[in-house]
Chain A
Amino acid sequence: MSHATGMKYLKGGVLPHMWCSGCGIGVMLGALLRSFEELGYEREDTVVVTGIGCTGKADDYLITNALHTTHGRALAYATGIKAFNPKLHVVVLMGDGDSVTIGGNHFLHAARRNMDLTAIIINNFNFGMTGGQFSGTTPGGMFTQTCVYGNPERGIDICALAEVAGANYVARATPYHVWEMKTNIKEALSRKGFSVVEVYSPCPTNFGRLNNMKSTPDMLHWLRDKGLPVEEYKRRKSPEKEGFFAVGTLVDRNEPDFNERYDRIRAIAQQC
């Protein structure tokens, strides 16, 4: 069996892409387009919604429907699209700035509503497009251009946030675990309700450079050495977890999504 390439969703003549060498966004996009192909998505039935930042540039490479929105608001736009036409596959590509820094409120409420959206979040722990400032996910003590003495704030755990806010499906992936990433993206696309795949992504240009991971291999080694399978991560007690993170499916549940619940409301309203 030949493997899906995802090329049928890619705009011709746009490669090489604009992302830096070593960046994980291209790897994610490849996994996403292969997933589309394997799931039989048509360009006409698919809408890719992007925000602003490095990840927000992704729609320029695609020939599906697309909406390139404002910073942090992609989920709210996607909510309007999906709410009005539930037949569409609506995929939202965001960075850590879009999703849980400026757009944190929309993230909470898209998860709480359990909107049938797939949110893929490239988390590179900094604002890359603007030159490398700290974001809502930059860990405490790490260095960026606006915290050269160390980050006084703490970073938020996107997957934990998605879980408590009510997402149906939550997974973490990395470009080192590229095969598993595609599996998680396909699962996320296939699940009803709000699905989140957080992709820990190397940013050697702006993040690694200031944090003792100057090269792309340095950053990939970090993902390889610190990323543990979910079961292994859960098995470990607190001190042994320090500095490690779980890779794989963290939440998989089947609560009714917003459109299903609104259909029930319509049925009641139409009886009154």
Chain B
Amino acid sequence: MQGNQAIAEGALYAGARFYAGYPITPSSEIAEECSKRLPKLGGMFMQMEDEIASMAAIIGASLAGAKSFTATSGPGFSLMQENLGLAVMGEVPCVVIDVQRSGPSTGLATKPAQSDVMQLRWGRHGDQSVIALCPATVAECFALTVQAFNFAEKYRLPVILAPDEVVAHLRENVTIPEPGELEVIERKKPAGAPERYQPFAADSDGIAPLAAYGDRYVFHVSSSMHGADGYSNNSPANATWRVAQLHRKIEIHRDEIVRTKAFDAQDADVLLIAFGATTRASRAAALELRKRGVRAGVLQLITLWPFADKEVAVLGQKAKTVVVTEMNYSGQVAGEVRKVLGSGADLRRVNSFNGQIITPKDILKTIG
């Protein structure tokens, strides 16, 4: 099956029952699949007037108790930033699929890129943290979509899955797990007296229980700075607590969130760092290098944010040469790797930004 289809399957497996979106290439197959499947399951598919409304609608549905999601690509993802900020501020679980395509602006609309890495992390105004994941195979499209919902529900925040167009349109064999085979997490619900419920009073795990509109727990959610009770609160002490809390709940669970995969990386003199489709080319290049007697390996970043700094440090400091392969001009991930390894490291970059994928040959040339 196709990557986009696997994403839709993963969402349904995770229990998503509300989708709102606006058509855009190269993500439309996700909407098409949801429009066919959700009404059969008693769920709902809505095609909204734009991506701003799509993001708003999935937040509204989530607060009414749904596991909800949307899918888009570059220009649509830009439009979603405003309301993604509300999902962060209001701590609303939801999943956004951003199939990365070439830019800037309309760019090469149907061609792949990996140039939204920084937008995933910093695309919204106001300092904030999110979780972003990136699959390299169709099987990972399925599994990481389930994972995205699990993170969203567990940590009460928006999670972004950001496949590149290559992986989203790739076809591979996938075995869909039986129900119950993969863990599916549900959000923590309040217990106790409704009149004492505070929607932003975090437990010791950093997460506050979330009721649904229509439950016996009445609650307020706000885009404005608010206290534990959800009502406006502009005091500096409250803002200090709130903003720190939004970052801290990710920081304290960092090791549960950050995922990487290492291929022949333990003894690697040449470490290739990759994510999404470039993982595939990097693995092929590493195997070729091994044949030539070079100890090469690959570190695949599955979690783009929070950044896998510890994992990069462990393997990157052992390697003589580190090569970051990514489909963007600026080296968005390479910059993060440089921060981790410091200015003395032999850090090289392989970039493409013309809508063409990076091939093993491109990588081998750099190492030469």
Contact = CB atoms under 8 A, between A and B. Distances in A.
The reply to whether chain A is a binding partner of chain B is yes
Interface of A: 11, 43-45, 47, 49, 52, 59-60, 63-70, 73, 76-85, 87-88, 105-106, 108-109, 262, 265-266, 268-270, 272
Interface in B31-57: 36, 39-40, 42, 44, 46, 48-50, 52-54, 56-57
B218 A80 contact: no
Interface residues of B, number: 47
B256 to A, nearest CB: 29
Contact of B60 (A52, A59, A76, A108): A76
Contacts of B145: none
Given A43-B218, A69-B56, A106-B53, A81 B213 contact: yes
A80 B39 contact: no
6 contacts: A43-B218, A47-B213, A80-B60, A84-B17, A270-B39, A272-B40
Interface string B75-97: 00000001101100010000000
B149 interface: no
Interface of B: 17-18, 20, 36, 39-40, 42, 44, 46, 48-50, 52-54, 56-66, 68, 82-83, 85-86, 90, 212-216, 218-224, 230-232
Contacts of A109: 48-49, 53
Given A70-B83, A80-B59, A81-B63, A88 B18 contact: no
A88 B214 contact: yes
A76 to B, nearest CB: 4
Contacts of B20: 80
A76 B56 contact: yes
Contacts of B215: 44
B216 to A, nearest CB: 6
A84 B56 contact: no
B216 A68 contact: no
Contacts of A269: 36, 39-40
A76 B46 CA distance: 11
B223 A68 contact: yes
Contacts of B56: 69-70, 73, 76-77, 79-80, 106
Given A64-B218, A106-B53, A84 B48 contact: no
Nearest to A18: B232
Contacts of B52: 73, 76, 106
A170 B42 CA distance: 32
Contacts of B220: 59, 65-68
A70 B224 CA distance: 9
Contacts of A69: 56, 83, 86, 223
A73 B83 contact: yes
A76 B224 CA distance: 18
A81 B64 contact: yes
Contacts of A73: 52-53, 56, 82-83
A262 B39 CA distance: 8
Contacts of A84: 17-18, 44, 60-61, 64-66, 68
Contact of A68 (B82, B83, B213, B222): B222
Contacts of B82: 70, 73
Contacts of A43: 218
A112 to B, nearest CB: 9
A265 B231 contact: no
A249 to B, nearest CB: 27
B57 A79 contact: yes
B39 A45 contact: no
Contacts of B218: 43-44, 63-65
B40 A270 contact: yes
Given A60-B231, A73-B53, A79-B53, A265 B59 contact: no
A59 B222 contact: yes
Contact of B213 (A85, A106, A268, A272): A85
Contact of B18 (A49, A80, A87, A106): A80
- In this complex, the member of A45, A52, A82, A269 whose beta carbon has the largest number of chain B beta carbons within 10 angstroms is A269
Contacts of A44: 214-216, 218
A269 B45 CA distance: 12
A85 B46 contact: no
Contacts of A268: 39
B39 A265 contact: yes
A85 B43 CA distance: 11
A76 B219 CA distance: 19
A183 B56 CA distance: 31
Contacts of B223: 52, 68-70
A68 B224 CA distance: 7
A73 B213 CA distance: 19
A266 B39 CA distance: 5
B234 to A, nearest CB: 11
B64 A66 contact: no
Given A76-B48, A77-B59, 20 more contacts: A44-B214, A45-B214, A60-B231, A66-B221, A67-B63, A68-B221, A68-B232, A70-B56, A73-B52, A73-B53, A76-B49, A79-B57, A80-B46, A80-B61, A80-B68, A81-B63, A83-B46, A83-B57, A83-B60, A266-B40
